[in-house]
Amino acid sequence: MKTRVFAALYWLMGLMIGLGAFGHGFSGVKPVRAALATVALPADIRGVIWIVWYFCSGCMLVFGALIIWAWFAARRGHPQALAVPVTVALFWMAVGVAAYSYQHNPFWLLFLAEGLLLLVATLGLRRAEPSAL
């Protein structure tokens, strides 16, 4: 039963992290576009902002894909693949803490929560038999 809870939590966090790319790239871009329209920036600086913005969206998608890949690898008997979601979880948590420390916006705590839940789920699954995943 615990394995099923950890598995559901793992998949939920992997999908939230991965699909967050679309929220970031499509919805999150609107306030940035509006803010940039009010300031005068050189074209090359404006271009770098967009490059980094969509790079972050791509990273979210890649992280989500790696989390899902690690699930299937662990299920095939390679539990060392779960080091990938542990790394993503720790990075996600660090970003959440650092961003919230810099800007006390509760939104950043979502990163901390997602990372923590992914970490808990992954560590819980590491003890499970591959066939139980």
Question: pLDDT of 19-69, one tens digit each?
Answer: 999 999 888 889 999 998 999 999 899 999 999 999 999 999 999 999 999
In a domain, 133, yes or no: no
- Mean pLDDT score across all residues of the chain: 93
Of 14, 44, 51, the C-alpha closest to 29 is 51
Q: Is the pLDDT of residue 133 over 70?
A: no
Whether 121 contacts 95, CB under 8 Å: no
In a domain, 132, yes or no: no
In a domain, 8, yes or no: yes
Whether 81 contacts 70, CB under 8 Å: yes
Q: Is the pLDDT of residue 129 over 90?
A: no
The Cα 89–Cα 64 span in angstroms is 11
Total tally of structural domains belonging to the chain: 1
In a domain, 48, yes or no: yes
- pTM for this one? 0.89
Q: What percent of the chain has pLDDT over 70?
A: 98
Domain extent, residue 121, equals 2-126
**What confidence category does residue 132 fall into, taking pLDDT thresholds of 50, 70 and 90?**
low
Name residues whose C-beta falls within 8 Å of residue 122's C-beta, 6 or more positions apart in sequence. Answer: 10, 82, 85, 86, 89
Q: Which of 91 and 3 is assigned the larger pLDDT?
A: 91
